[in-house]
């Protein structure tokens, strides 16, 4: 599949990478500004807290841009999996059909990211009840974790099934909690590089650019969709799953 459609996947991955550039630049800028403030002689807690709030807000906006690109990238891979054929134009067709759903999904993701940044800032740079600060940070991280955990199943809901947006979110979190260890491993494999960039942005961005040139976006989408389908088949059964496929989209397994 990858061999026969190399150019389609290459240009789709490269286009998807363009959608990630604002987020990568923000990660790079945040890393240098944050470390610079920390390494100053007298780090100002208020400045660090404000920087975290601004960074969290900008990351939330940048993630919505990534989300629109993700609709195109995952749309190409999903069509390739369903029809064994895809063209570069399918990237833009998928955005046209699914951009709003992905925009909302990544907007909610961005809100959770902002809450993590905000509670992290409160925990380290604001005078408040220590226990409440810790609990707030843990809850924010937990919500972000659970939401991200269900992403492969949300993709399947978008391209395979006829469910509403919030039904898709609930189903994706439910299936994300099943087979927790494997889902966590997939989450790290798919998104660990963005976390690595916070600690070593130059190396992280270099690796990210290299991976995108080598079909990184396509391989990540394929990994998410194939793994998600495998888990669904194991959880609900192939026959039950086959009856839920969108009519006319592809053969039942």
Q: pLDDT tens-digit profile of 27-85? A: 888 888 888 888 887 888 899 999 999 999 999 999 999 999 999 999 998 888 878 88
Q: pLDDT tens-digit profile of 152-174? A: 888 888 887 767 788 888 878 87
**Torsion sign across C-alpha atoms 173, 178, 179, 180:** positive
- 63 compared with 226, residue with greater pLDDT: 63
- Say if 247 falls within a structural domain: no
Q: Examine the pLDDT at 187 and tell me if it is beyond 80.
A: no
What is the pLDDT of the chain when averaged over all its residues?
79
Q: Are 117 and 111 in contact (CB under 8 A)?
A: no
DSSP 8-state code for residue 88: T
- Say if 252 falls within a structural domain: no
Residue whose pair of structure tokens reads 């998600």 in the numeric block = 228
- Enclosing domain of residue 184: 6-242
Q: Would you state the pLDDT for residue 201?
A: 58
Q: For residue 172, give the nearest of 196, 194, 148 by alpha carbon.
A: 148
Q: What's the gap between Cα 217 and its chain centre?
A: 11
Q: What six digits make up the tokens of 110?
A: 């961005």
- Say if 253 falls within a structural domain: no
- Say if 56 falls within a structural domain: yes
Q: What's the gap between Cα 9 and its chain centre?
A: 19
- Say if 82 falls within a structural domain: yes
- Say if 69 falls within a structural domain: yes
Confidence of residue 247 (pLDDT cuts 50, 70, 90): very low
Q: What six digits make up the tokens of 199?
A: 């600690």
Helices (H), 40-88: 45-83
pTM above 0.85, yes or no: no
As for how many domains the chain has, the answer is: 1
- Say if 104 falls within a structural domain: yes
> DSSP characters for 178-219?
TTHHHHHHHHHHHHHHHHHHHH-HHHHHHHHHHHHHTTHHHH
- Say if 250 falls within a structural domain: no
């Amino acid at each position: 599949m990858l061999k026969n459609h190399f150019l389609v996947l290459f240009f789709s991955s490269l286009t998807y990478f363009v959608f990630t550039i604002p987020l990568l630049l923000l990660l790079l800028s945040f890393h240098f500004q944050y470390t610079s403030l920390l390494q100053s002689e007298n780090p100002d807690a208020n400045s660090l807290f404000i920087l975290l709030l601004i960074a969290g807000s900008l990351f939330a906006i940048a993630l919505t841009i990534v989300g629109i690109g993700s609709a195109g990238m995952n749309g190409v891979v999903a069509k390739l999996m369903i029809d064994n054929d895809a063209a570069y134009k399918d990237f833009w067709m998928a955005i046209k059909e699914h951009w709003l759903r992905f925009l909302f999904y990544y907007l909610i993701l961005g809100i959770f990211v902002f809450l993590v940044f905000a509670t992290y800032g409160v925990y380290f740079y604001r005078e408040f009840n220590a226990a409440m600060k810790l609990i707030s940070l843990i809850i924010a991280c937990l919500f972000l974790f659970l939401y991200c955990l269900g992403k492969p199943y949300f993709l399947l809901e978008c391209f395979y099934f006829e469910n509403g947006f919030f039904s898709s979110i609930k189903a994706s979190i439910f299936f994300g909690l099943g087979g927790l260890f494997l889902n966590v491993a997939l989450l790290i494999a798919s998104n660990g590089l963005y976390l690595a960039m916070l600690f070593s942005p130059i190396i992280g961005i270099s690796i990210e650019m290299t991976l995108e040139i080598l079909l990184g976006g396509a391989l990540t989408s394929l990994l998410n969709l194939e793994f998600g389908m495998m888990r669904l088949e194991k959880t609900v059964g192939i026959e039950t799953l086959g009856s839920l496929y969108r009519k006319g989209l592809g053969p039942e397994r």
